[in-house]
Amino acid sequence: MQSWLRVTAWPVVAGILAALLVLEHWVLPAGPEESTPRDPQSFAAAVQSATPAVVNIYTSKVVPTRAGRLLKDPFWGQFVPRNQPRQRLEQSLGSGVIFSADGHVVTNNHVIDGADEIQVLLSDGRNAAARIIGTDRPTDLALLKIDLPDLTPIPLGTSADARVGDVVLAIGNPLGFGQSVTQGIISGLERYGLQPGLYESYIQTDAIIHQGNSGGALVDTEGRLVGINTLIYTSEQQTSGSAVGIGIGLAIPVDLTRFVVSDLIEYGQVIRGWLGVQVEPRLARGGDGPTGQALVVTAVAEGGPAQKAGLQPGDVITHFNGEAVEDVRRSMYDIALLRPGESLRITAIRGRQTVDLRAVVGAQTQSPDRQGS
């Protein structure tokens, strides 16, 4: 009997112990001291990845000043030495992004425009004087160069994959406070027509952007560059007359930034495709109603690619490379991204006939026109 009890008791005891372990670890609620609180969602890893490549930019330039009323007075003016230069030092701030390990830094053209001296301050406390490699006013981008070792370029994403609703982080030097981070979402894509005469395809975000953020980084939740923060839209407070942000920030897409940087490094300027045509928008209609825009040719440059292809004033362009024209700005933007020598198929309506033409893209040598390329 005792032998039988020993044989059968051990499995029972083992089963009871296993059940207690199950109850303790999976069924019974843990006590307060044993609970493991979950960490809230954090973007610290993305910030840690991107911030070493975001820099503060300080510029200074000497500007002439107007003579005061007293200095213009015949009596008081005699106490001022003749031919004394009247100048003052104007300083401004902005942000930039380290694009390559050998010291290329991208920022906005308006941040460094007219500067006599440019200083770049890194997140690790180092600073260096910067020289300008090239600027591109139509996209408001500028490329600088600093000579420092052990630079960390920013990881590059692609704006082609950006979606409305994606979480983004804006990193820069707002109001001179030093490197700061704000968080928001992508509110819109391909924003055009905000600045006449410029090539635009802005990313819109509601991440808070202030003066000084210009040229800084807009990154995704993995710390990859999505865009270069450029503009903020403001409204005038009726009570104080001061400009206040209204949650609309604009950034230059990283894919366009890559294009501009590559040309500035290789050629010292941006080489854009040119068709040699002036156009006006017209609503294109299909059988069931409006289908988009078409481009009415108003002028063709003498000897330009469009004229050589056979395009004539009065033609109505409906397609480029088989893609329907949906927006005048977008079409001109796409043509500008083509390389000289590339072939461009043009579908147009002439009278009651459809004509298919082929143009060889030329190189643009003038500033962009609002409705021409």
Q: Which of 245, 269, 293 is the last residue of a domain?
A: 269
Cβ neighbours of residue 193 closer than 8 Å, sequence gap 6 or more = 200, 329
Residue 176 within any structural domain of the chain: yes
Residue 295 domain boundaries: 273-363
Domain count, the chain: 2
| 177/251 same-domain check | yes
Q: What is the pLDDT of residue 248?
A: 82
Residue 25 within any structural domain of the chain: no
| 117/165 same-domain check | yes
Residue 72 within any structural domain of the chain: no
Q: Which of 216, 239, 269 is the last residue of a domain?
A: 269
Residue 291 within any structural domain of the chain: yes
Using the structure block, give the residue that is written with the tokens 């160069």.
Answer: 145
Using the structure block, give the residue that is written with the tokens 């975000």.
Answer: 205
Cβ neighbours of residue 95 closer than 8 Å, sequence gap 6 or more = 54, 55, 56, 57, 107, 111, 171, 172, 173, 212, 213, 214, 215, 216, 217, 229
Q: What is the pLDDT of residue 161?
A: 87
Q: Is 225 left (phi over 0), alpha (psi -120 to 50) or beta?
A: beta
C-beta of residue 56 within 8 angstroms of C-beta of residue 97: no
Q: What is the pLDDT of residue 114?
A: 84
| 111/229 same-domain check | yes
C-beta of residue 184 within 8 angstroms of C-beta of residue 206: yes
| 106/246 same-domain check | yes
CA trace torsion 126, 130, 136, 140 (10° rounding): 40
CATH of the domain at 163: 2.40.10.120
| 114/245 same-domain check | yes
Residue 52 within any structural domain of the chain: yes
**Which residues are marked as active site?**
110, 140, 214
CB crowding 271-300: b at 16 or more within 10 Å, else e: bbbbbbbbbebeebeeeeeeeebbbbbeeb
CATH of the domain at 350: 2.30.42.10
| 245/151 same-domain check | yes
| 156/285 same-domain check | no
Cα 51 to its chain centre, rounded Å, is 16
Q: Which of 222, 243, 269 is the last residue of a domain?
A: 269
| 219/304 same-domain check | no
Q: How far apart are CA 366 and CA 373, in angstroms?
A: 10
Cα distances from 197 to residues 37, 112, 140, 210, 329, in angstroms, run 55, 20, 12, 25, 10
Residue 12 within any structural domain of the chain: no
Record the tokens describing residue 48, joined without a space: 């840690």
| 305/212 same-domain check | no
Q: How far apart are CA 16 and CA 334, in angstroms?
A: 73
Residue 134 within any structural domain of the chain: yes
| 109/136 same-domain check | yes
| 227/107 same-domain check | yes
Q: List beta partners, residue 319.
A: 324, 347
Residue 238 within any structural domain of the chain: yes
| 48/98 same-domain check | yes
Q: How far apart are CA 229 and CA 123, in angstroms?
A: 18
Question: Digits of tens for pLDDT over the chain (373 positions)?
Answer: 445 445 555 555 555 655 555 555 554 455 444 444 445 588 889 888 999 999 999 988 665 665 556 556 665 555 556 555 555 555 667 899 999 999 999 999 999 988 888 999 998 889 999 999 999 998 999 999 999 999 999 999 988 888 998 899 999 887 766 778 888 998 888 787 666 556 778 898 888 887 778 889 999 999 999 999 987 776 554 444 444 556 788 999 999 999 999 999 999 999 989 999 888 887 655 444 345 678 899 999 998 999 999 999 999 999 999 888 877 778 888 888 888 999 999 999 998 899 999 999 988 765 544 445 6
